[in-house]
Structure 1
Amino acid sequence: MQRIQQLAAISEDTDGVTRRFGTPAFVRGQHLVRTWMGASGLHTRLDGIGNVRGRLESPVSGAKTFVLASHIDTVVNAGKFDGPLGVLLGLDLLENLAAQGESLPFHLELIAFSDEEGVRFHTTYLGSKVVTGAFEESLLIRTDAEGITLAQAIADMGGDPAALAQDAIPTTDWLGYFEVHIEQGPVLWERNIPVALVTAIAGQQRVELTWRGMAGHAGTVPMHMRQDALAGVAEFVLAAEQFGLTHAHELVATVGKLDVRHAASNVIPGEVVCSLDLRSAEAARLSSAYAELQALAETIATRRHLHLTWNMVQYTAPVSCHAGLNELLAQAITEAGHPVVPLVSGAGHDAVPVSEVAPATMLFVRCFKGISHNPLENVELPDLAAAVEVSERFLSLLLTSEIRNGS
């Protein structure tokens, strides 16, 4: 907990915690975490994308690698626990193993991913995509708000944009992946339970909708003759909310951004851009809901004589956690004296790209009222202690399990 507080003190601002990828605050946090890893007996390095990596090596010839990880970048005005909790809890586990000095049946690697939130360059999972070999070189020309390219940001941190592929763990070397994260939802808080077993991570589809009507004078254009783009968006926002409420057992739908172009109090809005964030743990339902909401938006636009451009900007498929690893994690939760609460994560995590190359499992930790991406984000000490105990039991089970032999 002291380490979490120390890392949280490194921020771009003083109100909350802001540590965007590649910024001076991020680099200071990056070096602090690496210092802790080195002092704990891990072999450390910074890779090309800025991930902080520490390893405990196995003496076994041809041993595979099991990864414990989360991220240390944040959204703007974030809390202290989203991401760093998993990194620093993992550090505690490996620090204890290093102190014991026992030989391991496989390599253990702790990774503090450099960019999961995607705030600066509007892309997610940069750190974990490099480690899994899924990084797209086309992203290197993407620019931030100041016009700095991703390639330049990497170079500014001392990395080589052309050599990122060398930092991937080969697919044949992966044994598995474990991530501890705050729940970011209220279920554990309401049930007064410290931890939960993540069974799946919801898929996501993000859309940018541009609505075009006709700008006009607010005092002279009769109401029945208007092509008010904002009024059309307003209708869609409420329709999307109602759609989400109607199908709440299988999906969520959110309009989180609204941009009224050339806005003025005395002008009928002629162009408005809004977002749509759609999530479901079922791929088929995600696809059908996407089509239904697109049809709904087009119906609204047609009736209001608006032109609609529908542009999907991101798609992430739903991910199921690995049955064998989840069985061990459930056993660890039970042995620690807690009920096994299965939860689907509505938020994305680095476990998503990792699951493409390796078995993955996740442990959720209760957070205050389910609040996240907010300075009020908090984990109480007893819940942190429970997460440490469960994780230690899980790692102990893994070290003696047949999963390590690939079964």
Structure 2
Amino acid sequence: MENYSTRAEKVLARIHELAAISEDPDGITRTFGTPAFLRGRALVRGWFEAAGLSTRLDGIGNVRGRLVSPDPRAKTFVMASHIDTVVNAGKFDGPLGVLLGLDLLENLLARQAELPFHLELIAFSDEEGVRFHTTYLGSKVVAGSFDQGLLSKTDAAGISLAQAVETMGGNVAALAADAIPADQWLGYFEAHIEQGPVLWERNIPVALVTAIAGQRRVELTFRGMAGHAGTVPMDMRQDALAGAARFVLAVEQFGRQNKAGLVATVGKLDVRHAASNVIAGETTCSLDLRSADAARLESAYEALFAQAGDIAAGRNLTLHWNPIQHTAPVACDANLNALLARAIADSGYPVVELVSGAGHDAVPVSFVAPATMLFVRCFQGISHNPLENAELTDIAAAIQVSEQFLVSLIRTPESC
């Protein structure tokens, strides 16, 4: 029997080693292009090279390792996830998929198997979008959908994305050439912690992802009139914070009333020139809407836009509604999912189907290639948090299932 536990121990050791590299000595933070990110990327690249992969850094900073098929007509199958993090992150979100994929290729090389297609393992440079408030920078370059207009976006220090890419050794002029042409894709596979509690509660190690929810993100600014907290009568105030607070509660109520297939969140609130004795004149907040149903997502967006306008008008405030992101829901590929479901069942686990509420690099890739995803159980469903954890036995199960899937794909590449 294959020693999946021993292999999982090696994956876990690498995850811990990568997690020790951080911008924050008290947590795990590696945002795109920072010195900590570059050190982590160098570590991962070293592992790719030591495994015997043909390795390079592309223009946006992705680490790309490749096994080449002898077939001159071969297409490319990609296994990938990301190595950037949110602020004060966990260890497993992203790196688990990259380092599990590395284990698969290491063992494939040891068996000297002849490939009917090229295999490419990619550690994407930026999925979380923390620094430039963008998402999927790395995977959009590989998928050929990178928006050149993003290069002028700036971070909190005023550094543009183009400057950041060049500083980290990338090449903005080469981004288009770094894409895998659409006709050269065979498919895409990503393993990722669930980031939700379903598998934890059911004590099941892995699940099949059927779809990834679409997202609408908005930045809203309510503007009123700043004033003295002791001298402006209550019925004469234009309190921007009170308006934003009313909107926060409206979003929560809307989400609860429409909880079948939709989530709605305000996660950020910024009061300009905040002071305890000042009526807020300007308050900005976020809105995050997610659903796997495109029509439901659009109707929620329009309904909350209308509610925000009504709240502003009723309190004599002005509203600035700034759309930040619009990502359509995507369905995972039926053929690849059938192959992955068979691998789960053949490995002795129940086939649980889940919709991902979180976004993944599989989203931009799915527009040019068949894509499938495997979820791995995580502690209490906690993610984007230092408590994030995946147990050794669950990682071993994920390796077993992923290897079964890959071996079946090598035997029947027409499954894509």
Q: Same fold (TM over 0.5)?
A: yes
- Summarize deviations over 1:166-221 as a string: whole Å, max 9, x none: 11111110000000000011111111111111011100001111111122111111
Q: Please state if 1:393 is matched with 2:404.
A: yes
Q: 2-side partners of 1:334 and 1:245: how far apart?
A: 35
Q: Which moved more, 1:136-145 or 1:167-176?
A: 136-145
Q: 2-side partners of 1:316 and 1:242: how far apart?
A: 23
Residue 221 of structure 1 corresponds to 232
CA contact (8 A) 2:214 2:328 kept: yes
Work out which of the residue numbers 257, 263, 266 in structure 2 matches 1:252.
263
What pairs up with 1:10-25 in 2 under 5 angstroms? 10-25=21-36
SS in 2 for 1:250: coil
Q: Please state if 1:338 is matched with 2:356.
A: no
CA contact (8 A) 2:116 2:413 kept: no
Q: Which moved more, 1:115-124 or 1:151-160?
A: 151-160
Residue 101 of structure 1 corresponds to 112
Q: 2-side partners of 1:314 and 1:293: how far apart?
A: 16
Work out which of the residue numbers 183, 186, 193 in structure 2 matches 1:175.
186
Identity of counterpart residues, as a percentage? 75
Q: 2-side partners of 1:12 and 1:313: how far apart?
A: 26
- Summarize deviations over 1:309-348 as a string: whole Å, max 9, x none: 2121110000100000000111111111111111111111
Work out which of the residue numbers 116, 133, 155 in structure 1 matches 2:127.
116
- Summarize deviations over 1:8-29 as a string: whole Å, max 9, x none: 1111112121111111111111
CA contact (8 A) 2:30 2:87 kept: yes
SS in 1 for 2:230: coil
Q: Please state if 1:85 is matched with 2:80.
A: no
Residue 141 of structure 1 corresponds to 152
Listed as ranges, the gaps of 5+ residues in structure 1 are none
Residue 55 of structure 2 corresponds to 44
**Distance apart, 1:403 and its partner CA:** 2.8
SS in 2 for 1:296: helix
Q: 2-side partners of 1:291 and 1:115: how far apart?
A: 30
Q: 2-side partners of 1:125 and 1:283: how far apart?
A: 20
Q: Please state if 1:262 is matched with 2:262.
A: no
Q: Please state if 1:236 is matched with 2:247.
A: yes
User: Compared with structure 1, are the counterparts of its residues 402 and 53 closer, same or farther at alpha carbon in structure 2 (3 Å cutoff)?
Assistant: closer
Amino acid paired to 1:265:
S
What pairs up with 1:34-73 in 2 under 5 angstroms? 34-73=45-84
- Summarize deviations over 1:261-311 as a string: whole Å, max 9, x none: 111111111111111000100001100010111111111112212111212
CA contact (8 A) 1:324 1:403 kept: no
**Distance apart, 1:364 and its partner CA:** 0.4
Q: 2-side partners of 1:272 and 1:157: how far apart?
A: 35
Residue 349 of structure 1 corresponds to 360
Amino acid paired to 1:328:
L
How many residue pairs get matched? 405
SS in 2 for 1:206: strand
Work out which of the residue numbers 127, 136, 139 in structure 1 matches 2:138.
127
What pairs up with 1:204-215 in 2 under 5 angstroms? 204-215=215-226
Q: Please state if 1:184 is matched with 2:195.
A: yes
Residue 383 of structure 1 corresponds to 394
CA contact (8 A) 1:215 1:228 kept: yes
Q: 2-side partners of 1:99 and 1:9: how far apart?
A: 29
Q: 1-side partners of 2:403 and 2:89: how far apart?
A: 28
CA contact (8 A) 2:213 2:355 kept: yes
CA contact (8 A) 2:291 2:357 kept: yes
Amino acid paired to 1:333:
I
**Distance apart, 1:243 and its partner CA:** 0.6
What pairs up with 1:288-367 in 2 under 5 angstroms? 288-367=299-378
Q: 2-side partners of 1:132 and 1:98: how far apart?
A: 26
Q: Please state if 1:32 is matched with 2:52.
A: no
Q: 1-side partners of 2:24 and 2:179: how far apart?
A: 33
- Summarize deviations over 1:109-150 as a string: whole Å, max 9, x none: 000000001111111111001111111111112111222221
SS in 1 for 2:103: helix
Q: Please give the root-mean-square deviation of Cα atoms over the aligned residues, in Å.
A: 1.0
**Distance apart, 1:90 and its partner CA:** 0.1
Q: 2-side partners of 1:240 and 1:152: how far apart?
A: 37
**Distance apart, 1:402 and its partner CA:** 4.9
Amino acid paired to 2:118:
H
**Distance apart, 1:401 and its partner CA:** 2.0
Q: TM-score, normalised by structure 1?
A: 0.98
Q: 1-side partners of 2:168 and 2:275: how far apart?
A: 42
Listed as ranges, the gaps of 5+ residues in structure 2 are 1-11
CA contact (8 A) 1:213 1:270 kept: yes
Q: 1-side partners of 2:311 and 2:41: how far apart?
A: 48
- Summarize deviations over 1:75-112 as a string: whole Å, max 9, x none: 11111100000000000001111111121010100000
Q: 1-side partners of 2:243 and 2:158: how far apart?
A: 33
Q: 2-side partners of 1:126 and 1:398: how far apart?
A: 28
